Structure 1
C-alpha cells in the first residue's frame, strides 16, 4: 500500500489528499529552491531522494516509513504537521507532494518600498552600470545574474548556481547571447568567473564607502532597478562557528515575539527578561515574528550590546543585553538555519562566507551575482546569497577585485 499526501504552505501546514492526479506534476521553481536549500544538511539517502525529485522535475518525494521519520525529525525540515502521518512499519511507503504559495507573484501594494512606481524612479541611478549586468542562462532559464569585471569577456557570478550546468550563456543588456564557460571558481566565496568571446563593458573598481542605513539598489540587465533596500550590517564572516545568542525560546505573538524558557546566565536572563515577555523592537527596529528576531540577533557578533523594547503585562519596557556566543554546529546549526529562512526563498548556498555585508533588498536565488549599487551609482559589492526574509548577502567590491586578480595571476602562471 502506498500513502499519498499533499504538503502545502510556507510556514508549512500539511493537508491530506487520497486522490492525487496520476499525471506527473512539474516541480515549481520555488519548491526546487527549497529542496536544493536542504540538500547539504540531509543524510545521504534522504539527500538522494530530494535530488532525484529535482532531476525528475517532480514535487513528489517517496519515503519508506523509516526514512520519513528521519526527515520529519531532522531540524532542517521546515514542514509542520508531518507528525500527523501514520509512519508505522508495514503501513507502506509514504509519498509527499510539496507545494508552496508563490512568493514571486505576491501582490505588492503601491505604498511598499518595492512597488514598481517607486523603483522606476530609481532607474537613472543605475544607467551607467546596466551595460555591465548580464543574465546567466541555462536551458533558456535564468539561473543567476552576472557582473562584467573585464572588457575581455570576464563575468563574475555565483558559483553554486552555475557549476553543475552543462550549457551556459550570458545575455547582455543589448539582448545579445554569448556562450559562456567557467574558467575559475572560489569555493569559499561561492564565486565563479565566466568567459565569453566578446568585448564587454566592465564595472568600475572605484568603490565608495557605505554607511549603515544607506539606501542601495539592485539593477537588472533590462535597465530597471528590480529591488531596493538599506545597508544593514558591516562586513563580517558567516562561517560556521561562534554566533551571537540571546538565550530565549521564541514564539510568534500578535504584537511581537513571545519569549519563554529564559536560560540561566544568558544574555536574556542578565538583561532581566522573563518568561511571557514580548519583544517588540531590537535596536529600534520592529520585530514582528520569530524570523525577524533570529535575523536581528544574527546581524550581531558575540559581545555586542543590543537595545530591546518589550512588553510585560501590556506595559512597555526597555533593557539592553550583551549577546553571548554559541557554537553553531550539528542539529543546532540546522535548526538555526531553518528558522532564519522562513518567509523567503533562500539561495542554494546561503551562508558560510568569509566576508559579506548584509542588506535587506529582497531578491531571488536566480538574481544573485549582480551588482549592489549606492544612490550615487557606485558599485559597492556583488550579491552572493539570499539568506532569509530580511537578509541578503553581498561580497564587498574590494574582495571581489582581489579574487579576480588572483584568477588573473593563476591564468598567467599557467600560460607561462
Structure 2
C-alpha cells in the first residue's frame, strides 16, 4: 500500500486520521492471544456463577410475566379452571420448546459443524516447535476433489508460519494458505477433505433486512469456548467503515459491512453470521471496542466476499488496477508547497499528486507532480479513500479511465489505461 510521498509532510492529516480511528475504537475480533488462557479457569468459574444467577432470575421473571406459573386467586380459582389453565400453559411451553429446538438443532447444527477453529502458529526461535500465536474462526464453504476450503479473515492468519484448523470434534488438520488479501480482510485455506463431513450453506446478504434475527458462530476467547452461538439482529446494512489495514494508525481503506448486535468477541473473526435458516450471510470481522459502547459488530457481506474468495482460491491474490501515484488532500498540502498548487476558487476539493511512479500508468499518461485530481470518470475525488473505493469497485485491470485534473490552474482531461498491481 503506497502512501503520501515524503515530499509532502502530511503529519497533520496522519494525526487527524489516527484520532478518528482511535475515537471509533474499531478492533479486529481476532486472533485471540494465548495470554488470555491464564485466566480462563477463573473466568469459567465466575461465568458459571454469574450465568446461573442471571438465568434463574430471567426464568422466574418470564414464568410469572407470562403466567406460566399461575398466581393463585383464592376468590375465583377452581380445580377445573386451574386444570384447564395448566393444560393451556403446558401446550404453550411445549410449542415454544419445539420452535427453539427447530431453530438450534435443525437449522444451526450443520452450519455450526462447518465453523472451525483457525490457529496461527509461529516459532519463537529456530530451536523451538511452532506455538499458537492466536486463534480465530473459519467457515468450510466447499469440498471438492478430495480437498476442503475454508474462508477466514486475513488478520487471523497474517504472519503465520503454520496454520491449523480445529474441527468440531477437536481434531486438528494442517492447513495451506492459498491466498490472503489485506484490503478485503479475507483469506482462503485448503485442507485434506477426507475428515470433513459438513459444508456450510452460503446464503445471499442482499436478501437480509434490518431487524432480522441472526446468529454469530465462532470461537470467542479461543478454543475453550469453541462453536459458541450468540443471537442478535441485523442493526444496519451497507455500513461504510474506515479501517487501518496496515496498523499505522491511519485509515487507508473503506469497507462495506453488515452491522449486528450479536456478540462478536476476540476469536470470533472469520466465523459465520447466519440467518435463522442456518445460511451464511456474512463473515464476522470486527467490532467497536469502547467502554461506553455495546453491541456494535460488523461482518463482511457474503455477496461481496464471494468474488474475492474465488480469486484467492484460484490465483492466490486479488487482481486490482493501479494508477501509480501518491497523493495528499488539497487542504493538507504543507505551506511551502501551496504556491505550486493552483485551482479555481470554486473547486472545493481534490487530491494533489505528490509523486508519480516511473513506468506506471500515471507516468505513461503524462501526470505530473502538483497536478490536482478532482474527478475520475465524472465522480468527485476528495480523498485517497474515495479514489481507492472507486478504483477497486468500479474498474478492473485493462480499463481506461478519464481523470479531470487541474495543472497550473487550467482544467484538463487525461485518459489513463489501468494495469495490474495490488495498490494505487
Query: Shared fold (TM-score greater than 0.5)?
Result: no
Query: Could you say which structure has the larger radius of gyration?
Result: 2
Q: Name the TM-score, length of structure 2 as normaliser.
A: 0.43
TM-score by length of 1: 0.43
